[in-house]
Amino acid sequence: MSARRWVGQPVPQTDIDAKLAGATRYIADLTVPRMLHAVIVRSPISHGVIRHVDTSRARQVPGVHAVLSAADLPDRRFGPYGEDWEVLASGKVRYRGDEVAAVAAESVAAAREAAALVTLDLDELPAVLDAHHATEPDAAQIWEHRPGNVANAFEIARGDLDAGWAQADLVLEDTFTTNRIYHAYLEPVGVMAEHHDNGSFTLTVPTHIPYKARLTYARALGVRPQQIRIVVPPVGGSFGAKYEMLEPLVAAVLARASRRPVRLVYDREEDASIARPRPPFWFRHRIGLRDDGRFVARETRVIGTAGARLFWSPSVLATAIHRVDSLYHFHAMAGSGHLAYTNEPPTTAMRGFGNAESLFGVEQLIDEAAERLDLDPVEIRRRNIVREGETTLHGWHISSSQLPACLDRVAELSGVRERRGAGEGAGERGTTGLRRGVGLAVAHHVSGYRPILADYDGSAAIIRAGGDGRVTLFVGEPDIGQGQATVFAQIVAEGLGCRPEDVALHGVDSALSPDAVGTLASRATTLAGNAVEAAAADARAKLDRFLEADQGEPIDAGPDGFAEELRRYAVGHCGLPLLGEGVHRPPTQMPNAEKYGNPSSAYPFAAHVAEVEVDTATGQVRVVGYWAVHDSGTIINPSTARGQVLGAIAQGLGWALMEDVTLDAGAVTNPNFLDYRIPGAGDLPDGVVVEFVEGEEPNGPHGAKSLAEAAINPVTAAIANAIHDATGVRCRDLPMAPERLWGLLQQAPAPRDREEVTV
């Protein structure tokens, strides 16, 4: 392998100076001439028939240019997973917060005044507020075209399950629940919409998937996709919330009605009140093992909450049911589940995408099996994990894996083998009954996922290098704040011979950028990175051919001479910039009708150990140590990679111990950061250890594969296993908040072989 100059280096973020100076312009910072402000009128009830929406008084407010309800729009239903989206509610409202009317005015104050004057005549109906009850015969019907309130279902089976159970010496079965959590991005949802005289639209919206979203928006607006231009501004965080959204459509119809640009931006309370959180799931997991710790069978049943309409929760459900079968060899499995409509805010994808939810229970059962079979938690996992070169139960080909080395290294760093079950007391705090424990969990994920877009997988990139020495990169995968711009700049610099700071990633604009699947399923570095690498190689080859034929003075090789190389190229081509094109077609397969196939070109792995201190008098848990070892192939930027892992640990810690979107009669009761607490710096333990066991992924740029989602997937399970090690109590429900854990501790006998220390 040739020496690398930029790949593998902790290059500073290329956009960090602008962000630190407050110069980065997010959607709330953008203005255009004649811009109006939008406010949405929402349902005050969870379920009801719309008798009438009276907008007459709202239209009289000075500065108001448009007031719309469903009566002003075509009767059109659409959506990414079914016909359950409406721009504005027609006929019925289906959750508290449902979009019933919208106002566009010269100021936010005028828009809010007008919105308050819209009168809603609603006949309240019984509300369905529980996914288990939703499918029972006496439950109210939410969508008439979906009888029984079954929003979506998924079923899969593989292998001889009966034979598997017959071979099992130990069968473990239990139920687990995961909860709603808010994405808690820094930037609330916002959009700018413009309608043009030719009937086309420009939507400036922070989205992961501009090209796929454009298809949904075109159906909603009754235009061709080519009539919608999507511009992605800098994104102030998302974590899965900002895929396809209704807000761009509300702004678009207001812009069309008013013939003025319209901006819609939520404040934090509105954003959190109607936010589409992580879907809560109920799991029943069953695992069979031989007495040597080898798995022989697995079965799972999942019930999830879709809320009032489907966003991306169906894909999350499918992942939660079957992805774990490509982390471990279970040899035979059956999984089934459904999402239920409820009269609650819709749910959608969040970092970890069902994989994290499933592993919360599966990894706890594996730890319980290790205890029953007198195996250490590292060994039982080593005996069952999938390995490099193997094909899993569902046809996933593992082209690279350093998971065995990750397990060994995290065990060495944390001492989990030796310290597990020790029941160490802790005396740092002045409370009684403190216990310490350690817990292990492993995880995997994908690097892209073939079924996302029917037309193609893969990515494309364009490089434009001008005679002024500036290099601009165009891809269709938006940077959503994860450091992608820097990683791509390093790949370009490595291949083209410039410096990373010479490379600017152009914001995604459907009028300029290549079409793309988008930034989701942890695909950007691996798939788009390959296309970027190919584009840099293409540009370098063109430049080298020109320089070989050029009769000018020799140019110093390397970054110092790069600007002069580009100047000569531009002069020799009458001002034409150097253009490089790259296309990457990954060796993936669309799963067949039996859901068998290889949907991703690369699979990352991780092994985590958490150390907790539990106050048995209060149920309070403090994470006091954490070790994370990852296999993400070649690490292109160690600084951004470490940041991704630390951020994921923080998010997972919050999910495990404190975060919970609470509802009362379908309304969110904690829509702010005072009542909805997310982790701060003080909640993370000092000296979190993050290491990477580097390998060479044959399908990734410079051997790299994904990282960001794999990093959150084991966190809740590692903490749960550590709590059990400390107390002997198994917490099967998220969050593992003090009141919940305290209740379990009151029911449990004192842990064997653990000595409580009073300090």
Q: How far apart are CA 93 and CA 343, in angstroms?
A: 9
| 489 and 500 Cβ atoms separated by less than 8 Å | yes
| 30 and 326 Cβ atoms separated by less than 8 Å | no
Distances (CA, A) of 543 to 463, 492, 532, 534, 745: 12, 14, 16, 14, 69
DSSP-derived pairing of the beta strands 471-475 and 503-505: parallel
| 50 and 93 Cβ atoms separated by less than 8 Å | yes
Helices and strands, number each (H, E), in the chain: 19, 26
Order of strands, sheet of 503-505, starting from the edge strand that comes earlier in the sequence: 503-505, 471-475, 459-465, 578-584
| 629 and 693 Cβ atoms separated by less than 8 Å | yes
Q: How far apart are CA 203 and CA 248, in angstroms?
A: 7
Q: Which amino acid, one-letter code, is at 252?
A: A
Contacts 24+ apart (CB under 8 A), 538-545: 538/463, 538/580, 538/581, 538/582, 539/463, 539/465, 539/495, 539/496, 539/578, 539/579, 539/580, 540/495, 540/496, 540/497, 540/580, 542/578, 542/579, 542/580, 543/465, 543/496, 543/569, 543/578
DSSP-derived pairing of the beta strands 620-631 and 689-692: parallel
Active site residue 379: no
DSSP-derived pairing of the beta strands 262-265 and 190-195: antiparallel
Nearest-CA neighbor of 434 among 442, 423, 422?
423
The count of other CB atoms within 10 Å of the CB of residue 167 is 16
Order of strands, sheet of 281-289, starting from the edge strand that comes earlier in the sequence: 150-158, 333-341, 295-307, 281-289, 170-178
Catalytic residue, chosen from 269, 709, 739, 756, is: 709
List Cβ neighbours of 697 (8 Å cut-off, separation of 6 or more): 399, 400, 447, 526, 602, 633, 634, 703, 704, 705
- 669-685 CB burial, b ≥16 within 10 A, e <16: ebbeeeebebbeeeeeb
| 518 and 349 Cβ atoms separated by less than 8 Å | no
Distances (CA, A) of 62 to 105, 412, 615: 8, 69, 59
Q: How far apart are CA 444 and CA 352, in angstroms?
A: 10
Q: How far apart are CA 335 and CA 339, in angstroms?
A: 14
Tokens 């490379």: give the residue: 503
Angle between helices 355-372 and 313-322 (to 10 degrees): 20
Token readout for 396 is 């996933």
Q: Which amino acid, one-letter code, is at 709?
A: E
Q: How far apart are CA 671 and CA 129, in angstroms?
A: 19
| 53 and 93 Cβ atoms separated by less than 8 Å | no
How many CA atoms within 13 Å lie on the side-chain side of 120?
28
The count of other CB atoms within 10 Å of the CB of residue 457 is 23
| 413 and 691 Cβ atoms separated by less than 8 Å | yes
Rg, the chain, Cα only: 27
* Active site (catalytic) residues: 709
